[in-house]
């Protein structure tokens, strides 16, 4: 892989949004590490993108046990996540823990692991959150709570890393046309209508906006909703 290019790590690169982000960053000339748990799918994506490589990490395992052999990381984009529906009354504690393990603790652990290399690059961390924060429909408690916790994590990290030159940005997308949204709509009992949702490529374009912001500015957070 080329040494001189900026380095990006995209977590959840096998997912709808993560894949689009990985493609966009590759097109922008980044060396892209494709992080996720499905090794075969990551390898297949790596074969399509120049200067990319798979990095197999499962957020339900200890991410520190799978070291990444790069001295610096310019951009870390967190796109891994799981959705779960179920009322407080019916959702078992194990499922609450799994949602928090992937949507929060995995993000925390992997970010901590890469922090020295992000500092070395005065890099950027981008958290793909959700408009579900600060509110929740009935039956969405675990997902919404995990995303609210992720929001607060992002704020803390932002404050802590200012002096290290690492910028943290949270993007809150509305509905995006991916497999996860299919699951959401199934749970809601409504049709999957991708033409009414954001495309994953539009979320990827928002990531590029963050990265193209001049150095004297810092986009700390923004909401991205479908235009109709
Ligand atoms: N789709 C929407 O409408 C929407 C809206 C707002 C926010 N978001 C957020 O955007 C992010 C991406 O969502 P998406 O729509 O792209 O979903 P997706 O297509 O279902 O992709 C989810 C990604 O997370 C990965 N993942 C799941 N469990 C994991 C684990 N234990 N360890 C590592 N990776 C794991 C998946 O890997 P596998 O391929 O191995 O399953 C996949 O790459 C999520 O955080 C989601 O909450 C989505």
Structure confidence by residue, pLDDT tens digits, 147-172: 999 999 999 999 999 999 999 999 99
Checking if the pLDDT of 64 tops 80, the result is no
| Band (205; pLDDT cuts 50, 70, 90) | very high
Average pLDDT over residues 182-194: 95
What is the pLDDT averaged over residues 106-119?
A: 96
Q: In which band, very low, low, confident or very high, does the pLDDT at 3 lie, cut at 50, 70 and 90? A: low
Reported residue count of the chain is 228
Give the pocket of ligand 1 (CB within 6 Å). 12, 14-18, 36-38, 58-60, 79-82, 102, 106, 128, 130, 173, 175-176, 178-181
> Which pLDDT score is estimated for 4?
84
What's residue 137's pLDDT?
86
Mean pLDDT of 99-121: 96
Query: Which residue's CA is the closest to the ligand 1 atom numbered 22?
Result: 15
**Mutation to probe ligand 1, out of 10, 17, 19 (largest number of atoms < 8 A from CB):** 17
**Which segments of 12-169 does DSSP mark as H helices, in order?**
16-27, 39-48, 93-100, 106-121, 141-161
The whole-chain average pLDDT of the chain stands at 95
How far is residue 140's CA from residue 50's CA, in Å, rounded to a whole number?
39
Active site residue 197: no
In which band, very low, low, confident or very high, does the pLDDT at 68 lie, cut at 50, 70 and 90? confident
**Which of 34, 40, 45, 128 lies closest to 83, judged by CA?**
128
Give residue 29's pLDDT band: very low, low, confident or very high (50, 70, 90): very high
The pick from 12, 97, 177, 207 for probing ligand 1's pocket by mutation, whose C-beta has the most ligand atoms within 8 angstroms, reads 12
Residue indicated by tokens 């096998």: 14
Higher confidence at residue 160 or residue 136? 160
- Residue 2, pLDDT > 70, answer no
């Amino acid at each position: 892989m080329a040494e001189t290019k900026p380095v990006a790590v995209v977590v959840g690169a096998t997912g709808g949004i993560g894949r689009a982000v990985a493609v966009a960053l590759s097109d922008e000339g980044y060396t892209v590490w494709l992080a996720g748990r499905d090794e075969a799918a990551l390898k297949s994506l790596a074969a399509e993108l120049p200067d990319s490589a798979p990095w197999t990490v499962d957020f339900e395992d200890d991410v520190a046990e799978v070291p990444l052999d790069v001295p610096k990381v310019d951009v870390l984009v967190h796109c891994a996540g799981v959705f779960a529906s179920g009322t407080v009354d019916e959702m078992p504690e194990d499922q609450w823990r799994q949602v928090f393990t992937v949507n929060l603790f995995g993000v925390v652990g992997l970010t901590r692991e890469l922090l020295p290399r992000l500092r070395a690059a005065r890099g950027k961390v981008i958290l793909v959150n959700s408009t579900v924060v600060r509110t929740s429909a009935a039956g969405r408690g675990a997902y919404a709570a995990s995303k609210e916790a992720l929001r607060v994590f992002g704020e803390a990290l932002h404050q802590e890393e200012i002096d290290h030159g690492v910028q943290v940005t949270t993007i809150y997308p509305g509905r995006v046309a991916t497999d996860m949204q299919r699951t959401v709509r199934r749970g809601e009992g409504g049709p999957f209508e991708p033409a009414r949702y954001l495309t994953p490529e539009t979320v990827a374009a928002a990531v590029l906006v963050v990265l193209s912001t001049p150095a004297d500015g810092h986009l700390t957070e923004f909401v991205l909703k479908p235009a109709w």
